[in-house]
Chain A
Amino acid sequence: MNAKLAWRNLWRNRRRTLITGASIMFAVFFAVLIQSMNRGSHEYMIDNMARFHTGFIQLQDSRFESEPSLDNVFEMDDALFERIAETHPNISFLVPRLETFMLAASEQQTRGAYVMGIEADLEHQLNGLKDHLKSGRFFTPGEGAVVMGEGLAGRLDVAVGDTLVLLGQGRFGTTAAGKFPIAGLVKHPMFEMNDQMVYMSLPDLQWVVSAEGMITTLLVTPERVRDTDVVAASVRESMTENGEFTVKTWPELMPELLQAIEFDMASAYVMSAILYIVIAFGLFGTILMMTLERVREFGVLLSIGMKRPSLSLVLFLESLLIGVIGVLAGCFISFLVVFYFYHHPIPLTGDLAAAIMDFGFEPILPFYLSGSLFLEQAVIVLLLSTLICLYPIIRVFRMDVLQASKA
């Protein structure tokens, strides 16, 4: 009966209820849209950054974090691959890397270089590296050739077909040096990487640095970016128990990116907060009017024997129902829009598109779609409704029955 009373009270002034519900609906719609665009862009950014740089999850030798040298590599074999792949069903594939710093020299110049031994096909699967090839071709394993960043090639004044000299320290203090023909040049999407990157086939680099069969990091790629934490937890649980390995996720490996995203998210939260403050006042206005115009009715209800908690429950339900109507409508229309743009991201044009393409990324505005997006808005509105209905509830508890029934 309380619910029936609340529901019918809501429709005593149909227009007012519809206007309030609509204001909540639009607030939820815009809040979902803002959050979806933000999270979509961030996920896209993380996806691109992680794929070209650290990967989403890295497995390293446990000593590598404190001493990232070739002395702290680990052996890569099929058994290890299988063991990791079985830790979580959402692992998509694994990418081995052997990374070290060396001096890269041409006839005229010498520069520091970040040399990465890769399995080119797996690396391409991770980040589409081969699509960033600007000239030449990719090497084949055992060929002893390198592919380097355009920026570094420019600094060293070398081109495809020239020879690059690499000099550095191998495993356990051995000297690692060699001459390598330049098979191709890539335009790496990250500027600093473009200026120092040298790719070599994994077996070739393993031979150069005397670390045959060894890798520094194994990238674990989840099905989706948002699976990172859950996959990392599973890998961590099964691979770190004897202290041999350590597992890192992209926020630990790129804390500056996380900070930038958090800063950007803060502005989205401020926008959403403004939206919600506006609708909170709208909802409060409606509840205030619904309370003030019924003071006498409340007095009568209390006179005939309705208990104050029961009356408060009716008022709470009224506030809650308006919120629920607005949230459901808002979630429904925002779902339709977000669902469409999730599958058809907005293409960017003009200078912004050009700048993004310069980074080697597709110029699109991607959207994020997840149940949590809608759930969060629902929880916020329901919390607001609860908070707002405190006013009539307090009023009912303080109400003088006689004065109220005369109002």
Chain B
Amino acid sequence: MNQAIIQTDRLTKIYNPDTVPVHALRDVSLSFEQGEFTSVVGPSGSGKTTLLNMIGGLDKPTSGSVMIDGVSITGMKDRELIDFRLKNIGFVFQHYNLIPVFTARENVSFIMLLQKRDKAEMMERTEKLLQQVGLRERMDARPKQLSGGQQQRVAVARALASRPKFILADEPTANLDSASAMNLLDIMEKMNREENVTFIFSTHDQRVIDRARRVITMVDGAVESDIATDQKSQTA
């Protein structure tokens, strides 16, 4: 582990502040370092997805701030945020959310196209990533022609394609059978170990929690515990 790439400072999110206030996050201050493989766990409504949305710049906090690599994204305008996400953050969604009319190859290269990468580099990286997730033979298949596990592996390749600083994965194994989930976790863990890619998951899945090297437990919008499973523990 090395320097912090994500820092949240007293992050608070209150939905419906004027009517029926719901405290989704309460003064959450966390720090994530490069190369982490972290699970954010907790019951439904505990705020884990909200936390990931804040870190991913998809939602704005009521108070507090999020710093990514020393840059505050809290005050960024929508256009700046979209650009920031494109350059810095990879997303893996519970429902895969691939573009249904694109092939696996096109889904992965699309994000590099948005980044206006060189075509040759784009092709090379796409093939490499799809090979890494074990789908080199299915590059020209469309999402409908792939199983759930395969789709999620394409989604991981897509998230990695933009060379993000970190990847946010919201319940990535929730819709997968056991074998596919294990296979996906193997791939992500391998990427993390070999290429130092930072993964932050929100999950209920014990298999993910078991693999994580840091587990943050949230209850009622606050961090209840923050445990490094390699024995370096922290407290909220």
Instruction: Report A's interface with B, CB cutoff 8 A.
Output: 1, 5, 8-9, 11-12, 296-297, 300-308, 310, 401-402, 405
Interface of A, helix, strand, loop or mixed by DSSP? helix
Near A by CB (< 8 A), chain B positions 112-139 give 113-115
23 A-B pairs (CB sep. < 8 Å): A1-B113, A5-B99, A5-B101, A12-B100, A12-B101, A296-B97, A297-B99, A297-B100, A302-B82, A304-B85, A304-B91, A304-B158, A305-B83, A305-B87, A305-B162, A307-B79, A307-B83, A308-B78, A401-B58, A402-B53, A402-B58, A402-B59, A405-B93
Query: Does any Cβ of A come within 8 Å of B56's Cβ?
Result: yes
What is the 8 Å Cβ interface bit string for chain B, positions 150-176, against chain A (1 contact, 0 not)?
000000001000100000000000000
Of listed A301, A303, A308, residue having the most chain B CB within 10 A: A303
What is the 8 Å Cβ interface bit string for chain B, positions 37-64, against chain A (1 contact, 0 not)?
0000000000000000100101100000
In the assembly, what is the distance between CA of A8 and CA of B100, in Å? 9
Name 16 extra pairs, CB < 8 A, besides A8-B101, A304-B91: A1-B113, A5-B99, A9-B101, A11-B101, A297-B97, A300-B93, A303-B91, A304-B86, A305-B86, A306-B114, A307-B79, A308-B78, A308-B79, A310-B114, A401-B58, A405-B58
In the assembly, what is the distance between CA of A216 and CA of B26, in Å? 98
Number of contact residues on B: which range applies?
20 to 34
What B residues does A308 contact at CB under 8 A?
Answer: 78-79, 82
Of listed B101, B102, B113, residue having the most chain A CB within 10 A: B101
**How many pairs of A and B residues are in contact by the CB < 8 Å rule?**
58
What B residues does A401 contact at CB under 8 A?
Answer: 58
- With CB as the reference atom, state the residue of chain B lying closest to A8: B101
B65 to chain A, nearest CB (A): 18
B174 to chain A, nearest CB (A): 14
A394 to chain B, nearest CB (A): 15
Near A by CB (< 8 A), chain B positions 64-104 give 78-79, 82-83, 85-87, 91, 93, 97, 99-102
- With CB as the reference atom, state the residue of chain A lying closest to B109: A1
A286 to chain B, nearest CB (A): 16
What A residues does B115 contact at CB under 8 A?
Answer: 305
**CB atoms of B114 and A305 under 8 A apart:** yes
- With CB as the reference atom, state the residue of chain B lying closest to A300: B97
What A residues does B91 contact at CB under 8 A?
Answer: 300, 303-304
Ranked nearest first, the 6 interchain pairs of A and B with the lowest CB-CB distance are A305-B86, A8-B101, A300-B97, A402-B58, A402-B59, A305-B85
**CB atoms of B82 and A307 under 8 A apart:** yes
B144 to chain A, nearest CB (A): 10
